[in-house]
Structure 1
C-alpha cells in the first residue's frame, strides 16, 4: 500500500493541490488539507481498498478536513466561521483540467517579484522543499521561506483571482510562466541535488503544463518551449547507464532516444520558425533538434549549432548561454579558443556553477593539460550537490590521474 500511495502522491499531488487551492482560496489551508487527505488515505485505503478515482477521493477528503479545521477555528475568528459555512454549502469537489494552469498563472502573477514567482511555483506545483529551492538558487533557506510566505500573503491581501487570464491579457503574463515551466522541467530532467539525476514526474508535469498552455495560446515561444522540452525529454532513457552513472551526449545510445517525441518536437520547431517570431526558447529548441537529427555524435552539425548559439547570445545574453556557445565553438574550432572564453566565465559570473568548471576541465584535457584539468574537475566536484554528477566527475579525475585518456574531440554534455 505504501508503494501505491507514493505513486499516487507523485502522480496526483499537484493536480489535487491545485484544485484544493481553487476550492479553499487559501494556499496554506490547501497544503494542510492535501497532507490531511493523504494521511486519511493511509488509514482508510488499507481496509477499504484504493478508490476508483484516487484524486477525486483526496480532493473530497481534503475539503472536508479543511471545513472541520475551520469550524474549530470559528470560535476565534469570524472569517473562519464564514469560510467554513461557504465551503459546507458548496458541493463542488470536481477537479478541472485547467486547475494546474490556474495555479501557475496565480503563482506568476505580476503582483509578485520574479524571485517570489519562482519560489512559490517550485514549492506548490513542483513540491520542492524550501531547502531544495534554496540549494538550487544558492540562497539561504530562511530567505526562500520568507519569499514564499510573503508571496502567499500578497496574493491573499490583493485578492488575486485564481484563474487563467483572458486571451487578451495572456501575452503580457506569459514570460514568467514560460520561465517557471522550464525551471520545473529542468529540475525534473537534471535535479540540482540529491541521489537521483532524474525526477521524471516533474519533467513530465512541466510538459503537460506546456501542452495545456499551447492549446490555449498557440504562441511561437510556447511552441518553442514545448518543443525544447520534448526534444530534451526524448533523450532521457539514454542519460544513465545500468549503474546510474551519467552518460554524456556524445556517448549516448541513440537507439534509446524516443523518436515519437523527437518527431513531435521537431514539427513544433518548424511551426514556430514559420511564424517568424523567433525567441530564445525556439532557438534552443532548434539546437536540440539538430542534436536529435544526427544519427551519430560525429554527424552533429556543430557549425549550425554554433551559429544558433551566436544568435541566442544576442537575443538573450547570459553567462550560461555564453558557456554553451563556447562548448559549440570547441567542436568547430578546437579547445584553445573555447578555453579563452570559458576561463573568465568560470572565474567570474559562473564561479559557483559546476558545469562551467567541468567544461573548462574538458578543454584543458583536450589540450593535454591534465593536471590543470583535474584541478578544474575538483572545483566542479566541490560545487556539485547531485550524486550521479559527483560520481561522474570522480571518474574523470581518476582517469586523468591514471593512465586512461579520453578521445581528443569529445564534447561535454552540451545540450544533453
Structure 2
C-alpha cells in the first residue's frame, strides 16, 4: 500500500469502528492490524473496494481482541451482527472523527496531535518531529488524548467551531521536520470542506490558501522575516490566491458572515493590491470592524488600530491603539511602528528594542532588533551631519 492510501483510508476505517462502539485506542489497534494484513495480501490481488475490505477485517480484529476480555465480550454480544464484506456505507464517519478529535474535553495541543494522528494519518514520529519534541513525549500526549475521548459517543453533532480552531492551530504551526503542517492543515480543511457545506469551513480554507500563497517570500534566504509591505509580490502564488478568492466569494454569497470569512476578506484585499501603497486600507478597516463585532478579539482590535493608522494617518492609529491593553501580544511592536510613522523615530527605536524582548519567535525578534538598529543608525547619522 502507498502512504497516500494509508493516510486516506485509515481515518475512515477508524471512524466506522468508533461509530459501531469500539473504543478509540482499540479501533486504532484493530485498523493497524488490518493494514498489516493488507500489506501482506494486497500485493497480488488488491480488492476492488479497499475501504470495505479494511472495515471488515478491522472489525474482525476488534471482535477477536474483545473475546479475550469479559467486559468486551458483553459489548460484543450487544453489538450488531458483523457486516458482510462490501462498501462501508454512506454515513460520513470521517466527519464525525473530526468532531471526536476536537472534543472540548481535550487541550488544544492534545486535540491537534490527535487530529494529525487519527484524521491526518501521520505517524507519531512525524508529529513529534513537526513539534520538535521526542517521540515518547508525543506518544504519551496522544495516548492521554485517546483515553480522554474513549468513552465519547458519536451520537450527536460536534462543535464545528472547535474543529476549525484546531485546524487553524495546525496551520499556524507552519512546518518543521519532514511534515509541512501548513500544507497538512490545508489538506485536512479541503477534506472537511468536501464533506460539509458550511460557509465558515470555506472561509477557513480561503484564509489558509491566501496566507499560504505568500509563504515562500515571508522569509528570505538568510532566514530573515520579510514584512508584507516589502515582499516581492511577483513571487506570490497567484493560483492559490485565485482559488482562495473564488472560495471566499462562494462563502460570502451565503450571507452568514463568520470570523474566518472576515479574516479571509482582509487577506484577499492584501492579495489584490499590486503594491503596498495601493492597498485598500479603508475597506480593510471596515472588515476589521466586522471581525471585532463578531469576535470581540483584542488581537483583532490591535490589528484594526494598525489598519486605521494606514487608512487615516498614524495619529488616528495611535488613538485607536491607546484604548487597548498594553499587555497584548505585539502591542509594543504596533506602537513602535505607528510612532515611527508619526515621525517620533527616537521613541520608535526604543519601542522596537523593547518589543524584540517579548517576540514569540526568533525571526520576529531579529526583525524588531534590525528595525531598532536602523532607526538608531539614522539618528546618529543625522546628529553627525548637524554637528
Alignment of 1:79-90 (within 5 A): 79=74, 81-82=76-77, 86-87=81-82, 90=84
Q: 1:14 to 1:251 in 2, by over 3 A?
A: farther
- The equivalent residue for 1:327 is 306
Instruction: Say if 2:196 is the partner of 1:206.
Output: no
Indicate the larger mover: 321-330 or 18-27. 18-27
Q: CA separation of 1:93/1:306 partners in 2, compared to 1, >3 Å: closer, same or farther?
A: same
Distance in 2 of aligned mates of 1:191 and 1:405:
34
Q: Is the 1:187–1:199 contact (alpha carbons within 8 Å) kept by the matching residues of 2?
A: no
Q: C-alpha distance in 2, partners of 1:277/1:312? A: 13
Counterpart for residue 164 of structure 2:
181
Partners of 2:211 and 2:170 in 1: CA distance: 11
2:241 matched to 1:262?
yes
Relative distance call for 1:342 and 1:19 in structure 2 (3 A) is: farther
Supply the distance in 2 between the matched residues of 1:246 and 1:54 (Cα, whole angstroms). 48
Higher-RCO chain (CA-CA 8 Å, sequence separation at least 6): 1
CA 1:27/1:190 → structure 2, altered by over 3 Å: closer, same or farther? same
Question: Which residue matches 1:67?
Answer: 63
Max radius of gyration: which structure? 2
The one of 117, 120, 123 equivalent to 1:127 is 117
Inter-CA distance 288–97: structure 2 relative to 1 (3 Å threshold)? farther
> Residues 32 and 293 (structure 1 numbering): CA distance in 2 closer, same or farther, change over 3 Å?
same
Partner of 2:98: 104
Q: Residues 334, 143 of structure 1: CA spacing in aligned structure 2 closer, same or farther, 3 A cutoff?
A: farther
Q: Once the 2 structures are TM-superposed, how far is the Cα of residue 14 of structure 1 from its aligned partner? A: 3.9
Q: Is the alpha carbon distance of 1:341 and 1:22 closer, same or farther for their aligned partners in structure 2, counting shifts above 3 Å?
A: same
The 5 A counterparts of 1:125-274 are 125-127=115-117, 149-153=147-151, 155-156=152-153, 160-161=154-155, 176-184=159-167, 186-191=168-173, 198-214=181-197, 220-242=199-221, 246-274=225-253
TM-score by length of 2: 0.70
Contact 1:361–1:374 (CA under 8 A) maintained in structure 2: no
Give the gaps of 5 or more residues in structure 1.
136-141, 166-172, 407-416
Contact 2:114 2:146 in 1 (8 A): no
Measure the CA separation in 2 of the matches of 1:357 and 1:41.
58
Answer whether contact 1:269 1:286 (CA < 8 A) is retained.
Answer: yes
Using structure 1 for the length normalisation, give the TM-score.
0.66
Structure 2 equivalent of residue 411 of structure 1:
none
Aligned to 1:396: 368
Between the two proteins, the alignment pairs up a number of residues equal to: 358
Deviations 1:274-309 (A, max 9, x none): 444434333223222211211222211111101221
Q: Which 10-residue stretch deviates more, 197-206 or 395-404?
A: 395-404
Check conservation: 1:71, 1:84, Cα contact below 8 A. no
* CA deviation string 1:216-256 (max 9, x = no partner): xxx55455444334433433444444566544333333334
What residue number does 2:266 align with? 287
The residue that corresponds to 1:21 in the other structure is 18
Change (3 A) 1:398 1:243: closer
Aligned to 2:295: 316
How far does residue 147 in structure 1 lie from its aligned partner after superposition?
7.5
- Change over 3 Å in CA distance of 1:48–1:144 after alignment to 2: closer
Conservation of the 8 A alpha-carbon contact between 2:49 and 2:87:
no
Q: Distance in 1 between matches of 2:319 and 2:45?
A: 60
* Alpha-carbon distance in 2 for matches of 1:93, 1:256: 45
Contact between 2:174 and 2:182, CA under 8 Å: does it hold in 1?
no
C-alpha distance after superposition, 1:124-169 (max 9, x if no partner):
4333989999x9xxxxxx999878644442x24xxx427xx6xxxx
The two structures, once aligned, show a CA RMSD in angstroms of 4.7
Q: How far apart, in 2, do the equivalents of 1:205 and 1:370 lie? A: 42
Q: Match of 1:161, SS?
A: coil
Query: In the superposition, relative to structure 1, how do residues 78 and 201 fare at CA in structure 2: closer, same or farther (>3 Å)?
Result: same
